[in-house]
């Protein structure tokens, strides 16, 4: 079991899709950075005087004109490894696995590996970008950026650790949406729909739910899990994260064990 787990983690992290997801994540952050520093009001020299690495890192994730990561993050989360169950099944490899590994252990290993691979992709890309910004801008106290809302107290205790916390939030975000995709896979049995289904929910939760006033009673807008929008609270973020994660786990567990195994 340990050998299989180790092999699967290695397979997931160095897979072509994981590398593509990492590259797109880093590229998205870099494009947002370049757009920000070349904004007519600033420029390279002015930006170094006005901002530090933390100011820019937080902005380029979701609030500049070129911040595409906040939009495509669910797609990148699922790209890394969320179709792995269907790949195992379509290739016939799943039969071979079940000859050596109990089904329930396979389910938990697949959930774990998928989470690690997806979370690793965005957190590594974010960390690389943050290190680059530190080397260029450093970290110092500025009055430019004011943070409010969930977990903002971390920012006022330590700007550096708040940035690390944001990277952890990105890791959790990817874990949640990749688990949702994996959970959906035994039910829809289509690799491409598996990869884009959580993205549809992400968009609908911020548009259709808003129009139907569902978010007025319990804010289900998926973007708050990425941006930590000030309109919500820490408790709400944690509850929503746990809810979506448990839904993903439940869908995959029951989809594999009780629904789809007869069709191997």
Is 147 within the bounds of a domain? no
Whether residue 108 contacts residue 102, with contact meaning beta carbons closer than 8 Å, is answered with: no
- Residue 82 CB neighbours (<10 A): 31
- Rounded to an integer, the average pLDDT of 206-212 is 89
Is 79 within the bounds of a domain? yes
Phi, psi of 25 (to 5 degrees): -60, -50
The whole-number pLDDT of residue 140 equals 86
Phi, psi of 255 (to 5 degrees): -65, -40
The whole-number pLDDT of residue 42 equals 64
pLDDT band at residue 101 under the 50/70/90 scheme: confident
Written as six digits, the tokens of 153 are: 């107290």
Is 125 within the bounds of a domain? yes
Whether residue 98 contacts residue 264, with contact meaning beta carbons closer than 8 Å, is answered with: yes
The whole-number pLDDT of residue 142 equals 75
**Residue bearing tokens 């990817």:** 174
The SS3 of residue 263 is helix
Is 166 within the bounds of a domain? yes
The SS3 of residue 190 is coil
pLDDT band at residue 123 under the 50/70/90 scheme: very high
Residue 232 has pLDDT above 80, yes or no: yes
Q: How many domains does the chain have?
A: 1
* Sequence-ordered strand ranges (E) for 48-106: none
- With CA atoms as reference, report the closest residue to 79 among 130, 24, 30, 11: 24
Written as six digits, the tokens of 220 are: 């289900």
Residue 160 has pLDDT above 90, yes or no: yes
Max Cα-Cα span within the chain: 64
The whole-number pLDDT of residue 262 equals 53
The whole-number pLDDT of residue 49 equals 78
CA 7, 9, 15, 18: dihedral to nearest 10 degrees?
A: 180
The SS3 of residue 235 is helix
Is 45 within the bounds of a domain? yes
Q: Supply the mean pLDDT for the chain.
A: 90
**Element of type H or E holding 87:** helix 84-91
Task: Say which residue, 14 or 49, is predicted with more confidence.
Answer: 14
Write the pLDDT tens digit of every residue in 163-193.
999 999 999 999 999 999 999 999 998 999 9
Is 146 within the bounds of a domain? no
Range of the domain at 68: 2-140+152-263
Whether residue 32 contacts residue 66, with contact meaning beta carbons closer than 8 Å, is answered with: yes
């Amino acid at each position: 079991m340990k050998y299989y787990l180790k092999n699967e983690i290695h397979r997931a992290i160095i897979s072509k899709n994981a590398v593509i997801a990492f590259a797109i994540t880093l590229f998205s952050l870099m494009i947002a950075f370049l757009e920000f520093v070349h904004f007519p009001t600033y420029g390279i020299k002015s930006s170094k005087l006005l901002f530090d690495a933390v100011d820019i890192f937080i902005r380029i994730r979701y609030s500049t004109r070129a911040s595409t990561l906040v939009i495509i993050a669910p797609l990148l989360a699922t790209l890394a490894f969320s179709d792995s169950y269907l790949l195992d099944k379509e290739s016939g490899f799943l039969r071979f696995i079940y000859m050596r590994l109990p089904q329930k252990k396979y389910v938990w290993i697949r959930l774990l590996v998928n989470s690690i691979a997806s979370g690793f992709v965005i957190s590594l890309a974010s960390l690389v970008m943050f290190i680059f910004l530190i080397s260029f801008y450093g970290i110092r106290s500025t009055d430019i950026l004011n943070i409010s809302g969930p977990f903002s107290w971390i920012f006022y205790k330590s700007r550096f650790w708040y940035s690390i916390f944001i990277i952890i939030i990105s890791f959790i975000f990817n874990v949640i949406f990749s688990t949702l995709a994996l959970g959906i896979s035994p039910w829809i049995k289509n690799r491409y729909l598996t990869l884009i289904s959580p993205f549809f929910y992400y968009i609908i939760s911020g548009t259709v739910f808003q129009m139907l006033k569902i978010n007025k009673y319990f804010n289900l807008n998926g973007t708050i899990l990425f941006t930590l929008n000030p309109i919500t609270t820490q408790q709400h973020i944690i509850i929503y994260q746990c809810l979506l994660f448990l839904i993903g786990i439940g869908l995959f567990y029951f989809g594999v064990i009780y629904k789809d195994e007869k069709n191997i």
